Structure 1
């Protein structure tokens, strides 16, 4: 299950085009197999989504006390021992960098994605946390293609690699592991909360991880109390750039779980409408293309992810969708371009969008 993996396939691009390498991971690997297992003894097996901390997460948050050093970690590459809490972390994954920043881990440098896009700033850092990265003087070490020399020049005491995906530097593992202890993390099967707990355990920032999760949960409850739900159920989706299909979020998706926690009901396609399977067996999305697109969108309200106001206009102008109730009634809402994959920052932005669009009068 790829609960945290919020991705359209390469041939089904979202209306807000993402050239961010990290946002290309799901099409490259549906579930990442057995080669790359979780890189810490704090692994969580059950997925939860932003705003929904799973039972195992809550248990860990309640009973896990900061451990002493050194710490020994089981990784896909064998046992890794950290003698002390890292002070100079290089993240080769722009996706992981956001969660490291959220737990106040000492990130000094990071890989970057394409600059000046709908999802990235002039440094190639995701817009939802680029201001935090600038404030903490995180250095962009390279754009897209991992550069071992640039990493080595920063003299890191811990290097973090994504197991798979467009922002993975796994092919440089052998080279990077001669520079500093190098840890492989699989983020594709975790919510950002699970990732925060795992990285907190690895870096010695357990309390920061728990605090940011608690803070987010408080914000979820605040927003829930302050909004009036639009007509239910809702179709939550990513609209393809070519206008010929959508990826519909299911209750198993990170986006779907957050909406559900806020009180929304998710509209699913009728039993006789079958979604596509080009991305393999997944339970976080349903692909709807061709005649199935309109037939599968049964919600009374439409909520667009990886989108902007222009996306809303495109949906409202789509001749195959104009007869649908959300379109004709002007109940189509955008959650912003950074909601393709939810981390603490983009999930918080999503809450802001929900509050803005549905705030009780």
Structure 2
């Protein structure tokens, strides 16, 4: 490290040793430039040190990031998993209710809870976004979800005065798309690409091993009170993954879509009321954010007794941690599917023959 000395060379008439000792003392006392920034800069890889500033287009317009961030704060617990995936320097995150079937005691999702603890990620708040807590974390980059229940969009104007603030919609993006975006915003493109490659390899192996249940498929999150469900669309992370694995998503008739299904979110279609059953057109039902108890509850719902999937017994729980798919939960989902839909080569051949027939859409 080059230490700029404040003394002229001719003034150092003592010994060279004394001159060096004086400069060293000044450096230790912080008198020779911004030495406190050196450790953070040293952490940046050669790839991270170049190509800055960067412009990122967001839902709120263009955001300029001057240098690789070192203290990222996520206000969205949904997006936090992807930031952890690419090894972004995230120091704190919004959380949700703790100690549930899908969260740890801090309110972080169980699929990446161990990673969060290992990296000493701090919870900012639970539920309602808290601007004071976010600012107190001293962020140099803030991530805000533009949609969903963990959105802090109402605080955008305030937070954007503190640090560059990225508003990201996750209702129309896979975690891979989010990882690519965050990789560019943080200088961790290589980490994002590596995670995507690992997942793609597992997904390809999974698809090759699957014997699909009857198609098309309705993928949904069932309401606990039996009143309806959210059906995943092809724009959702769940829908995109299923399509990549060879599943065919069943269409939902326009006549049964709820008033809130269109124009607000692209990833779900809300079904409820007397036409709820008419929206479940799939020959197979995949219950996201569901377990064996959820599947039993769906089968007991007398209003769904006419569903083709229920009549044939093709109802499968995908796991409680699949409500929001990040790298961690999506990886676990692939492994679950390998167990659930694995079959012999003979069975796969028969499945291939069935796939050549026109699929019924009800």
Q: Which residue of 2 aligns with 1:293?
A: 276
Which of 158, 165, 190 lines up with 2:173 in the alignment? 190
Which of 203, 206, 220 lines up with 1:223 in the alignment? 206
Structure 2-normalised TM-score? 0.72
Q: Which residue of 2 aligns with 1:104?
A: 87
Q: Distance in 1 between matches of 2:285 and 2:82?
A: 29
TM-superposed CA distance for 1:201, in Å, is 0.4
CA gap of 1:357–1:153, structure 2 versus 1, over 3 A, is: same
TM-superposed CA distance for 1:113, in Å, is 1.1
Is the 2:171–2:267 Cα contact (8 Å) retained in structure 1?
no
Stretches of 4+ aligned residues off by more than 6 angstroms: none
SS of structure 2 residue aligned to 1:84 = coil
Q: Distance in 1 between matches of 2:269 and 2:66?
A: 45
TM-superposed CA distance for 1:83, in Å, is 3.2
SS of structure 1 residue aligned to 2:316 = strand
Structure with the largest fraction of helix: 2
Q: Distance in 1 between matches of 2:258 and 2:158?
A: 40
Is the 2:75–2:144 Cα contact (8 Å) retained in structure 1?
yes
CA gap of 1:247–1:161, structure 2 versus 1, over 3 A, is: closer
After superposition, where does 1:65-104 map in structure 2 within 5 Å?
68-73=51-56, 80-104=63-87
Q: Which runs of 5+ in 2 are unaligned?
A: 1-46, 345-362
Q: Which runs of 5+ in 1 are unaligned?
A: 1-63
* RMSD, matched Cα: 2.8
Q: Which residue of 2 aligns with 1:332?
A: 315
2:153 aligned with 1:170: yes
SS of structure 1 residue aligned to 2:281 = coil
- Bigger CA radius of gyration: 2
Is the 2:95–2:107 Cα contact (8 Å) retained in structure 1?
yes
Q: Distance in 1 between matches of 2:72 and 2:138?
A: 9
RCO greater where, 1 or 2, for CA within 8 Å and sep 6 or more?
1
1:83-132 per-residue CA deviation (whole Å, 9 max, x = no partner) reads 32112211122122111111110111111111122332110112221121
Q: Which residue of 2 aligns with 1:124?
A: 107
Q: Distance in 2 between matches of 1:73 and 1:237?
A: 33
Q: Distance in 2 between matches of 1:335 and 1:346?
A: 11
2:290 aligned with 1:307: yes
Q: Which residue of 2 aligns with 1:154?
A: 137
CA gap of 1:296–1:173, structure 2 versus 1, over 3 A, is: closer
Structure 1 stretch 75-84 or stretch 161-170: which is displaced more? 75-84
Q: Which residue of 1 aligns with 2:259?
A: 277
1:232-283 per-residue CA deviation (whole Å, 9 max, x = no partner) reads 22222222222132333343433222212212222335x6953333333466
CA gap of 1:199–1:332, structure 2 versus 1, over 3 A, is: same
Is the 1:66–1:206 Cα contact (8 Å) retained in structure 2?
no
